[in-house]
Structure 1
């Protein structure tokens, strides 16, 4: 039980961080509803699960890869390009709400579920913070604390479970606030979300180049 609570604490810390994942979830929940937001979230959660599985089973090998001279450079450039691409897509397109009757009480899914899942998966996977976060957690908890396989399952289950629950709450709240928004607010939400993704991409690229 203590390990589950430790995992919940780590997950709660993550849920309060404002990053590209937060803006992507809120945008999907407000514009396209709960199912769309949940599908984007599912891509994020699958990505996190694969990170947990990878770093737990192959921590020694991954540590060698990370210590390579160009790994951080390639990961940072790839992540910044992906974030900038999603941000530009949000800025260059507008939410389709103009022709909807009583639109504030409805949602219109303009993206396929597959594309939403892929968006969530890519935003989380190419984010260097996610990569190094899971390596750091696995190194400190699994290696230094010497967790047994069953104990590691409890701990990582607590972390991932907290992430899923808090993300679902964000999606629900995002959908709820839609009824108080007008079309112009949705447009500005998309611009803020797109601008934030591009800003994160620029910061990520700057930090990557600065560390050379």
Structure 2
């Protein structure tokens, strides 16, 4: 079940999103260790969301008004990260008084990974759907479900670690100007993701 969860998790990772871009940026700007602390923050929130999905909290989150509020809040958080990245390229701070961006590098990387991943609590609904399908199709026990979830988390850690490594290596052979351009692109894409979150409608 761990391997099955890992396979699904790796497939999901191929859909590059804001978290993946953020980890790449961390690796390029701060190095591999800092990026790994960001990965740790991401994995921790993913684990919490998977646990909540298994625990059946979806009945509350699946309400239309709650989903709308979560979507708007999530979009705002992603947009803030995008603006921080874009303006940071020019040496400006979008949130100069927020401690999140002024802590020690390792602590900041962990908290940023934590907050950015937590900005999309609707992920719980996705995992609830996955687990419900697996339970019916493969007649999984509760232990199997937890092992499947563990495999999915391991896939997240593995994939993002690779992204962190690629980002950290890039800082050694790419000129500073190129790194700045990449940061600018990442920031713009994050803002685009935020826009997509806001305009997205439930089918």
Displacement of 1:41: 0.7
- Cα distance in 1 between the residues matched to 2:30 and 2:18: 18
RMSD of aligned Cα (Å): 2.2
Aligned to 1:106: none
Provide the residue aligned with 2:72 in structure 1: 77
Q: CA deviation at 1:4?
A: 2.4
User: 1:64/1:161 Cα in 2 relative to 1: closer, same or farther (>3 Å)?
Assistant: same
* CA shift for structure 1 position 163: 1.4
C-alpha change, 1:69 and 1:138, in structure 2 (3 Å) is same
Query: Which protein shows a greater Rg?
Result: 1
How far off its partner does 1:63 sit?
Answer: 2.7
Change in Cα spacing, 1:118 to 1:142, as seen in structure 2 (3 Å) is farther
Q: Which runs of 5+ in 1 are unaligned?
A: 97-109
Consecutive aligned runs of 4 or more in structure 1 exceeding 6 Å deviation: none
Name the structure 2 match of 1:63. 58
* Aligned-pair CA distance for 1:141: 2.2
Note if contact 1:25-1:171 (Cα within 8 Å) is conserved in structure 2: yes
Q: Residue 128 of structure 1: CA displacement?
A: 5.2
Q: What are the within-5 Å matches in structure 2 for residues 131-150 of structure 1?
A: 131-142=124-135, 145-150=138-143
Shift of 1:197: 0.7
1:125 and 1:131 in contact (8 A); partners too: no
Offset at residue 27 of structure 1 (A): 0.2
CA contact (8 A) 1:11 1:162 kept: yes
Shift, 1:134, TM fit: 1.7
Contact 2:43–2:157, Cα closer than 8 Å, also in 1: yes
Count of aligned pairs? 193
Q: Which residue of 1 aligns with 2:87?
A: 92
**CA pair 211-163 structure 1, distance change in 2 beyond 3 A:** closer
1:211: Cα distance to partner?
4.5
Shift in Å, 1:143: 5.6
Unaligned runs of 5+ in 2: 92-102
SS at match of 2:89: coil
Deviations 1:132-180 (A, max 9, x none): 3222222222466442132223212211112111111111121112222
Partner in structure 2 of residue 168 of structure 1: 161
The alignment's TM-score, normalised by the length of structure 1, stands at 0.83
For normalisation by structure 2, the TM-score amounts to 0.86
